[in-house]
Amino acid sequence: MKPAKLLIVFFLLIMIAGCGKPGININNAPYNPKITVEGYLYPGETVSSIRLMRNFPINSPVNVSSIFLTPSGNKVKATINGTPLTFDQQTLSYYSNQITVDYGKQYTLEVYATIDGTPLHTTSTTITPQKGFSVMKKGLGNYSYGDSIQINYVPSPGTGFYAFSIVPDTANTGNFIYNNSLRKNIDSSDVSDRLNEYRFRYGTVDNINSNASIMYAYYVTERNTWFYSSYTVVAYACDENFKDFLITSPNVQEVDGNFHEPVETFQGDGIGVFGSAISDTLRFTIVR
């Protein structure tokens, strides 16, 4: 056997020996209460919709009414750069009209809360993208299924990651594209069972040279258009926290079966996401 082949076999044996079983036993995992955060800042807007929630032990009943952390029930004190956030009883989220988010600025969220009698504390910091990102055309017009839809955009200096949320305005079994090129023999029951999977689609662009002062393009394809409908696309120029959460939170298992934690940006007793982005919105329609 040639030396190169022997080397390949050697590395394959090492990889196989290091592979884990494709599963994990979580029944005996210790429970530690955590402040769970879902929060995003957008330059040019005030702070809004900062959701503070909690986790629950494995195999325990979940009390839906106590998922959200409140000042009265959990002694919550939340601030951004030292400015207190106000709790909105209607949306069960926190906001501040005193903070207008700026471009290229650092913001630190700090939260104190009590969960199951345990006092907790966490912080996370985001740096908003610099001014510059925008899409070149807001109304892209009508397209047939299978057409490549081009979104031209100008990046923000220093921001290399961009995300595109692509959602049909109407999504049901009646306007699904059954003669699609990706999944054959789909009936209405299949569509109904997986409606949200077909409806909520997104794409990303990473590692672009954002300092090149040129226009870039993102192409929407049939993988993201499963319905005859008008579509709303929200494009984001994302900070590092936004990027890390979007990329790593859904992908916690390696191909060999081993698990790993998603990237976390919280210090102390927190999990979740506190990120920032510049957003822009555009529209197109897929016609029959």
Written as one string, the DSSP assignment of 65-103 is GGSB--HHHH--EEEETTEEPEEETTTTEEEEEEEE--T
Please name the amino acid found at residue 138: K
Average pLDDT over residues 96-124: 97
Over pLDDT 70: what percentage of the chain? 86
Q: Is the pLDDT of residue 160 over 80?
A: yes
Burial 258-270 (b: 16+ CB within 10 A, else e): eeeeeebbbeebb
Residue type, 160: G
- Whether 130 has a pLDDT exceeding 50, the answer reads yes
Contact 171, 198 (CB under 8 A): yes
Report the amino acid identity of residue 214.
I
Tokens of 212: 């090149």
In one letter, which amino acid is 206? Answer: D
Identify the pLDDT of residue 3: 47
Provide the pLDDT for residue 15: 45
Fold of domain 134-237+278-287: Immunoglobulin-like (2.60.40)
Amino acid at position 100, single letter: T
Q: What is the mean pLDDT of residues 134-154?
A: 95
Tens-place pLDDT, residues 171-212: 999 999 999 999 988 999 999 999 999 999 999 999 998 887
| pLDDT at site 129 | 97
Task: Determine the 3-state secondary structure of 166 from DSSP.
Answer: strand
The confidence score (pLDDT) of residue 252 equals 58
Are 218 and 153 in contact, with CB atoms under 8 Å apart?
A: yes
Q: What is the mean pLDDT of the chain?
A: 89
Statement: residue 12 has pLDDT above 50: no
Asked whether the predicted pLDDT for residue 5 surpasses 90, the reply is no
Helix (H, G, I), strand (E, B) or coil at 221: coil
Q: Which residues face 138 on adjacent strands?
A: none
Say how many C-beta atoms besides its own lie within 10 A of residue 74's C-beta.
21
Report the pLDDT value the prediction gives residue 57, as an integer from 0 to 100. Answer: 86
- Provide the pLDDT for residue 257: 61
Question: pLDDT class for 8, splitting at 50, 70, 90?
Answer: very low
Q: Render pLDDT for 54-68 as a digit per residue (tens, 0 to 9).
A: 998 888 888 888 899
Torsions phi, psi for 139 (to 5 deg): -110, 110
Write down the pLDDT at residue 185. 87
Interatomic CA distance for residues 45 and 39, integer angstroms: 13
pLDDT value of residue 262: 74
Q: Are 41 and 236 in contact (CB under 8 A)?
A: no
Q: Please determine, for residue 14, whether its predicted confidence score (pLDDT) is greater than 50.
A: no
The pLDDT, as a whole number, for residue 62 is 84
pLDDT of 263 reads 78
